[in-house]
A and B are shown apart, each in its own frame.
Chain A
């Protein structure tokens, strides 16, 4: 513990600095490539470029 915990702490600090500088997320963001320019004038057409999101419409 005396030897590896300082190394572990340094690794965590290095990760923190890298994550703060460049950004990091444990859950990925969906990336869609080649979005057509027509989205600028017809934003509703964007819906066809990603999988439809099934969600439960709940509320009080």
Chain B
């Protein structure tokens, strides 16, 4: 029997179970008789080819094998299947089987479409969705448009692939052996689509359209697969289909960060519920610069409890287009130790062009931390510019600070921001060599 592709004599390899395959030692394609296949592989697609069946000399029909992107040739008479070099492994991967050989495929394959009836293979499983762009990649609107939002996508096996780059390679020189005829000057059009770690490539040569499916392998896997010694070269930048190494960290931080943020809210709510938040003193005073001594001392009040806690001191004033400054001290009546703090308030308002505006606030809240329980009094020394300023002082014991929750969320968000930046940096490196870079030179110039 002769090879359908290059007409070299086929060689037969027999197995223990009696099955056999015929392979071409020149182009490395493989011929399967129907009786030797472990499963039925239907071929649907484009129509007759110039290749002849090695068994009966009938014209083979080429199309998509079993609805995959692998191209195969089938004899309509004997049902045998021809796969070019490399397509056996791809078809096994697509069908998720270890071998195509075995006793089992006894039923005849489904009838083939009439020649020319359907040229959409592998369109049945590959659907192109362009967002406002013509399907022909040579369309000027597509070539001249670098807007990432208009990038075409390919959907295949329930996975969406994003367009990476389009090229128009031309053979400059040939070195080595090829299972097909290659000439210097041959031109093709290639389009690469990625859905890391998978890569889908299209090559158009004349009327032929070939799809190739690839999977990214780590350098260590390649080294081990070929049995190479030493270590692979160090990485440079990012490969198109290389999985983002920060994806796992992103998932972890996203999941744990969300749970932790919710837990932080729960902790704060619980702290608010179990804290006393008792008002121990309220007083109203007037500060007048005409009065010689404006400082006041409050009556003694008690912070009861068994642990130090936060003290909340609230000031409400009636200042208007003015300011007020308060020097205050919380003095322990038993130890004569004082916690000194100062608060500055300013409030201005007016109307401009018919619209009212305001700046500042008439109220202020101060927190004192880790105040031990005991008896205390407050010394208030106000300073006001002019006129009498009324102010109300409220002292609350054991009141958690709301900004503690904000700080906790900020601390929880820090790793999230770090991972986000690193993940984005990798994606920018990945897309830098594509037709859709995330940062263009025009952006840099601006």
Q: In the complex, how many angstroms separate the beta carbon of B16 from the nearest chain A beta carbon?
A: 47
Q: In the complex, how many angstroms separate the beta carbon of B89 from the nearest chain A beta carbon?
A: 34
Q: In the complex, how many angstroms separate the beta carbon of A13 from the nearest chain B beta carbon?
A: 6
Tell me if B264 counts as interface (CB < 8 A to partner A).
Answer: yes
A23 to B275 CA separation, bound complex (whole angstroms) = 11
Q: Could you tell me how many residues of chain A have their Cβ less than 8 Å away from some Cβ of chain B? A: 41
B309, B340, B346 — most chain A CB neighbours (10 Å): B340
Nearest-neighbor residue (CB-CB) of A60 within chain B: B348
The residues of A that contact B339 with a CB separation of less than 8 Å are 29-32
The residues of B that contact A1 with a CB separation of less than 8 Å are 248-249, 252-253, 415, 419
Tell me if B327 counts as interface (CB < 8 A to partner A).
Answer: yes
> How many A-B residue contacts, CB cutoff 8 Å?
154
Tell me if B404 counts as interface (CB < 8 A to partner A).
Answer: yes
A9, A16, A50 — most chain B CB neighbours (10 Å): A16
Q: In the complex, how many angstroms separate the beta carbon of A52 from the nearest chain B beta carbon?
A: 10
The residues of A that contact B263 with a CB separation of less than 8 Å are 9, 13
The residues of B that contact A44 with a CB separation of less than 8 Å are 293, 295, 381
Tell me if B223 counts as interface (CB < 8 A to partner A).
Answer: no
Given that A13-B408, A23-B309 are contacting pairs, would A32 and B267 also be in contact in the complex, using a CB cutoff of 8 Å?
Answer: no
A40 to B296 CA separation, bound complex (whole angstroms) = 9
B263, B322, B385 — most chain A CB neighbours (10 Å): B263
The residues of B that contact A23 with a CB separation of less than 8 Å are 308-311, 367-371, 400-401
One digit per residue, 1 when the CB lies within 8 angstroms of any chain A CB and 0 when it does not, for chain B 306-326 equals 011111000000000111010
The residues of B that contact A12 with a CB separation of less than 8 Å are 260, 264, 408, 411-412
Q: In the complex, how many angstroms separate the beta carbon of B125 from the nearest chain A beta carbon?
A: 36
Q: In the complex, how many angstroms separate the beta carbon of B339 from the nearest chain A beta carbon?
A: 5
One digit per residue, 1 when the CB lies within 8 angstroms of any chain A CB and 0 when it does not, for chain B 411-446 equals 110010001000000000000000000000000000
Given that A5-B253, A13-B264, A23-B370 are contacting pairs, would A30 and B340 also be in contact in the complex, using a CB cutoff of 8 Å?
Answer: yes
Tell me if B196 counts as interface (CB < 8 A to partner A).
Answer: no
A37 to B339 CA separation, bound complex (whole angstroms) = 15
Given that A44-B295, A47-B381 are contacting pairs, would A39 and B331 also be in contact in the complex, using a CB cutoff of 8 Å?
Answer: yes
Q: Could you tell me how many residues of chain B have their Cβ less than 8 Å away from some Cβ of chain A? A: 61
Nearest-neighbor residue (CB-CB) of B359 within chain A: A60
Cβ of A40 and Cβ of B377 under 8 Å apart?
yes
Nearest-neighbor residue (CB-CB) of A1 within chain B: B249
Tell me if B365 counts as interface (CB < 8 A to partner A).
Answer: no
Cβ of A35 and Cβ of B336 under 8 Å apart?
yes
State which residues 1-59 of A face B: CB under 8 Å: 1-2, 5-6, 8-9, 12-13, 15-17, 19-25, 29-37, 39-40, 43-44, 46-47, 49-50, 53, 55, 57-59
13 additional A-B residue pairs with CB within 8 Å, beyond A22-B310, A22-B370, A23-B368: A1-B249, A5-B253, A12-B260, A13-B267, A13-B408, A16-B407, A19-B400, A19-B404, A22-B309, A31-B340, A33-B338, A47-B381, A59-B385
11 A–B contacts from the bound complex (CB under 8 Å): A13-B267, A16-B407, A29-B340, A29-B368, A31-B340, A32-B329, A33-B336, A47-B295, A50-B340, A57-B385, A60-B348
Q: Which 10 A-B pairs have the closest CB atoms?
A: A20-B271, A23-B369, A23-B310, A43-B295, A9-B260, A1-B249, A20-B400, A30-B340, A16-B408, A25-B369
Query: Chain B interface (Cβ within 8 Å of chain A)?
Result: 248-249, 252-253, 256-257, 259-260, 263-264, 267-268, 271-272, 275, 293, 295-297, 307-311, 321-323, 325, 327, 329, 331, 336-342, 344, 346, 348, 367-371, 377, 379-381, 385, 400-401, 404-405, 407-408, 411-412, 415, 419
Query: Chain A interface (Cβ within 8 Å of chain B)?
Result: 1-2, 5-6, 8-9, 12-13, 15-17, 19-25, 29-37, 39-40, 43-44, 46-47, 49-50, 53, 55, 57-60
